[in-house]
């Protein structure tokens, strides 16, 4: 097996172990392989090892990679910031966008989603801990934005996504993921039909699964360290 294949297997085992520890079934958590900064050959290796869903942060880089991998049946998730001038590319090339945090961006994605494609699957990015990155809607505004996004014709609202400030302490990781879980539950209780809680990365996927994540986004543990910051 390739190194990427071995790494994928280890990550799947981590997810399964974390699921078992909280009485969840292993298939209740989807694995998104974050391939940002890695070339198409790395994605091919991961696909050969059974991975089909990939996450990218840099839209221009992703569009080029997606074009080179058209021969494979892959699903592409945009997990990086989306500026207004990039919405057309996201709407045309991705299956999912996890980082919707403004109505204007959601409206553009809906208007620009090509007719021939199904609805773009979206998550509202929530700034769950007021972290310094500032991306994401404040938790108190998530419900209002979610209702507006859910009404857009060419988008399918699936849930919320968070990127907490990095923390090494497992209890700290768990507490912030539990806040996201509570918000997710509130939105569902308010009548939105959501099935995706996108949270957890290489360093905190166990805490995220324990709190109820349904989709972990893992880069480093699959592809190795990245040469440039992301
Ligand atoms: C880079 C990135 C990841 C993956 O992070 P790792 O620590 O490498 O697993 C997940 N989500 C987002 C939004 C990212 O930017």
3-class secondary structure, 118: coil
H-helix or E-strand spanning residue 97: strand 96-100
Whether 86 has a pLDDT exceeding 90, the answer reads yes
Ligand 1 pocket test, candidate residues 34, 62, 166, 227, most atoms within 8 A of CB: 34
Instruction: Please write the tens of the pLDDT for every residue from 147-200.
Output: 999 999 999 999 999 999 999 999 999 999 999 999 999 999 999 999 999 999
What proportion of the chain, given as a percentage, has pLDDT over 90?
Answer: 95
> For ligand 1, what atom is nearest to the CA of residue 226?
8
β-pair partners for 198: 161, 215
Residues 6 or more apart whose CB falls under 8 angstroms from that of 6 comprise: none
Report d(CA 68, CA 56) in Å as an integer: 14
Quick one: pLDDT at residue 31? Answer: 98
Would the CB of 59 count as within 6 Å of ligand 1? no
The CATH number of domain 3-223, selected from 3.20.20.70, 3.30.565.10, 3.30.540.10, 3.20.20.10: 3.20.20.10
The domain locations on the chain are 3-223
């Amino acid at each position: 097996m390739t190194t990427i294949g071995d790494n994928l297997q280890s990550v799947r085992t981590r997810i399964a172990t974390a699921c078992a520890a909280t009485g969840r079934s292993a298939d209740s958590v989807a694995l998104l392989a974050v391939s940002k900064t890695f070339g198409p050959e790395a994605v091919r290796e991961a696909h050969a090892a059974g991975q089909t869903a990939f996450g990218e942060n840099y839209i221009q880089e992703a569009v080029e990679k997606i074009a080179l991998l058209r021969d494979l049946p892959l699903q592409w998730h945009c997990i990086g910031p989306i500026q207004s001038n990039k919405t057309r590319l996201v709407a045309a090339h991705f299956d999912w966008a996890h980082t919707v945090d403004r109505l204007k961006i959601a409206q553009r994605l809906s208007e620009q989603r090509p007719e021939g494609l199904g609805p773009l699957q979206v998550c509202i990015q929530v700034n769950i801990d007021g972290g310094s990155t500032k991306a994401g809607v404040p938790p108190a505004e998530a419900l209002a934005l979610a209702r507006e996004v859910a009404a857009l014709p060419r988008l399918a609202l699936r849930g919320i996504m968070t990127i907490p400030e990095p923390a090494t302490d497992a209890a700290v990781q768990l507490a912030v993921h539990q806040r996201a879980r509570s918000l997710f539950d509130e939105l569902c209780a308010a009548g939105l039909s959501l099935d995706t809680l996108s949270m957890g990365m290489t360093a905190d996927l166990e805490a995220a699964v324990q709190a109820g994540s349904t989709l972990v986004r893992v880069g480093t543990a699959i592809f190795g360290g990245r040469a440039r910051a992301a």
